[in-house]
Chain A
Amino acid sequence: MISAAWLAVSVAGGAARAEEPIKIGAAYELSGHFVSFGAAGKRGVELALEAFHGKVAGKPVEVVFKDNRSDAQTAASTMNELIQDKIKYLVGPASSVSIAASIPAWRQAKPIWVASGATTAIEEQIGQEPNLYHIYPYTYDYQRATAAALKAILPPGAPIAVIYADDNYGRASLKSVQKYVTEAGLKIVAEELIRPGSSDLNPTLTKIRVARPQALINLVQAADLITLTKQIQIARLKVPYLVSGGDVGSPEWQQSVGDAQEGWIGVTPFALGAKRIGDKKRADIFPPQDEWEKRFEKKFGAPPNWNDAAHYTAAAMLLLALDEADGDNPEKVSAALNSMDVQTPMGRGRFEKINKTLHQSFSDPLVFQRQGGHNVVIYPKDAATGPAKPRS
């Protein structure tokens, strides 16, 4: 009788363990300065989970969302919490600042981390770590592509001005801009710093006007880029080419700046409306891009931006690896990620060693220009859909 009771308890306990969900940690900027990035991160993860119907290899998945408030200190403590909770799989955060701040805490246990952000290089710190999978071009990839595109448009020695934000992204990007723009044979004639959250940028624009550049590279993001774009328009700054990063492709920026978006050049691994093919084996997870965009818009009521695509791709690749590894087995999940080769909304999803990052995917962004309310890819040539046009 005691044996029967013990057996019953064991079976019940076993059944309970079998239903224990696989936990994925997702610390994002759900408030604060980078809330737009974090919101996109959450959307991407939720859509990916929906694509898998909440389960991998027959086991339920639970995503543990945490808000790092776009603050470095909070990012470190949220990562710490996830590590203390013994969570073995991570996605997010979305901003370079938060990812960099999370690294020391991550080192405690080094769970598998599919990092879908950090355009600023974290290679020096953890690029060689086998459990880090970086899904995103680094800022130097963006700036390399930008410089190459400008070299194709402008004559040698053309003057270039730079506005950069006083944050991790701005300062790190500036170094890459200086390197690649100089290598491209162009000349930097002005570098102006702005503080994130500044409301009045006319003083900076007045100084830029004096420098008379042919192109202005804006190393600012989110709200700062919206403010800068509007004020450039109002100031009637006569610079033929205005350049920034992925924000130029986001519907959020485009809606916020209205007609001021015309002529802006952006860089992105994901361009809305591009004709990417889906994955033949897992079209349910990675359908053709237009179908994926419709799926996103149906759930969230607005078209996706590059951040949505990046975080969806990161979460979906991790879930796919969990599925292929038959559940909660970090070694098998890692092996699955290492051998993964899928067609995603961001292009070919395959991890390989690039520069100092052991597992890097999506390092060749497209350079595009907003023309008549549409994205026109201007670089590289083999992907170009039209020529670049100077602002009138």
Chain B
Amino acid sequence: MTLYLQFLIDAILLSGIYALMSLGLSLSLGVTRILNFTHGEAVMLAAYGAFWPFFLFGTDPLLALPVIIVLAFLAGAGLFRFFLQDMIKVPHFNQILLTFGIALVLQNIAVILWHGDLRSATPDYALEAIDLGVAFIPVGRLIGFGLAVVLSGALFVWLRYTFAGRAVRALAEHRDAAALMGIDILKTYRLSFGISTALAAASGVILSMISPISPFLGLSALIKSIEIIVLGGIGSLVGTILGALILGVAETAVAYFVPDGSGWAPGVGFSLLFLILILRPRGVRGQAVEI
């Protein structure tokens, strides 16, 4: 009983963090049709953005979170405005090369500034757990899960009930029709990129507390996010959440119930991906947009 309950807790909490990490990428890809390779670096930079104030001034990462989210939003919107806006209609390969190049530059800047040493923020609550007797809930991951629920809930509400949100959905569905309806395409793209980067940054803040960070964190975050959005269905936010849940549960299940399973859990993602792409090539939820 203990084992199964702990497994369930770990799987759900991990899924929440995965969802937070990948929702933004799904949004930006779904709206702009650009696969943003700087997404992982946003996670990395936000993690450092949370770490350094903690290390230097004792600032709690959760207090730094709102500031980091706002800065990330502006950075994401700025990235689109100054680097990608003129690249909307070029071949996807060129877009990927550009964002990949920017990602490499950001990574290298991080290496120059902060070297390769591993860091981690250690606020007291990040090492605590809620003891249920038969199982425990890690507080750091619980906060990550809670943040994922709040931010994804806010995102869905915004997309459904605000004009800007509906404009984003319209643009994702049919660009030309959205333009004909008077929607400012470029402004909406910038908004999407900003929100995408802000969501990535939120996950970076959580990661700074629960795992070691380095300038090379971004690549693994990006690969995981791509796995999830392909699993769930490209461009579908609900699909992304489902994909995160499937991946989180599968990885945790393998780690718990397969002998030496912790040794194989990361490979689960790719195995699942192959399986889903064979059985349902458009992802679990179905591909929401055509790239």
Chain A residues at the B interface, C-beta cutoff of 8 Å: 30-32, 35-36, 38-39, 166, 192-195, 197-204, 206, 222-223, 226-227, 230-231, 233-236, 252-253, 255-260
Contacts and interface: CB of A to CB of B under 8 A. Distances in A.
Given A35-B214, A192-B260, A234-B138, A255 B265 contact: no
Given A193-B262, A204-B262, A235-B129, A226 B7 contact: no
Nearest to B13: A200
Which secondary structure dominates where chain A touches chain B? Answer: helix
B186 interface: no
Given A206-B6, A227-B211, A252-B118, A32 B216 contact: yes
Contact of A193 (B55, B115, B216, B263): B263
B170 interface: no
B216 A31 contact: yes
B127 A233 contact: yes
Interface string B224-261: 00000000000000000000000000011001100011
Given A35-B116, A256-B118, A223 B262 contact: no
A222 B120 CA distance: 12
A226 B264 CA distance: 20
Nearest to A302: B117
B131 interface: yes
Nearest to B267: A195
B111 A204 contact: no
Contacts of B216: 31-32, 35
A308 B48 CA distance: 23
Interface of B: 2-3, 6-7, 10, 14, 55, 111, 115-120, 122, 124, 126-129, 131, 136, 138-140, 210-212, 214-216, 220, 251-252, 255-256, 260-266
Contacts of B111: 31
Contacts of A31: 111, 116, 216
Nearest to B2: A206
A256 B212 contact: yes
B115 A39 contact: yes
Contacts of A257: 120, 122
A195 B264 contact: yes
A230 B119 CA distance: 13
Given A200-B14, A203-B255, A255-B119, A226 B265 contact: no
A169 to B, nearest CB: 14
Given A39-B116, A39-B117, A256-B212, A235 B14 contact: no
Nearest to A33: B216
Most A CB within 10 A of own CB, among B120, B215, B256, B262:
B262
A195 B262 CA distance: 6
Given A204-B255, A226-B212, A236-B129, A195 B120 contact: no
30 contacts: A31-B111, A31-B116, A35-B117, A35-B215, A36-B117, A39-B117, A192-B262, A195-B262, A195-B265, A197-B266, A198-B262, A199-B211, A200-B251, A202-B6, A202-B10, A206-B2, A222-B118, A223-B118, A226-B118, A230-B210, A234-B139, A236-B131, A252-B119, A253-B118, A255-B119, A256-B118, A257-B122, A258-B122, A259-B124, A260-B127
A199 to B, nearest CB: 6
Contacts of A36: 116-118, 214
B117 A252 contact: yes
Q: Which 4 A-B pairs rank lowest in CB-CB distance, beginning with the nearest?
A: A258-B122, A35-B116, A256-B120, A203-B255
B128 A166 contact: no
Given A195-B265, A223-B212, A236-B131, A38 B116 contact: yes
A36 B3 CA distance: 35
A227 B140 CA distance: 13
B28 to A, nearest CB: 24
Contacts of B115: 39
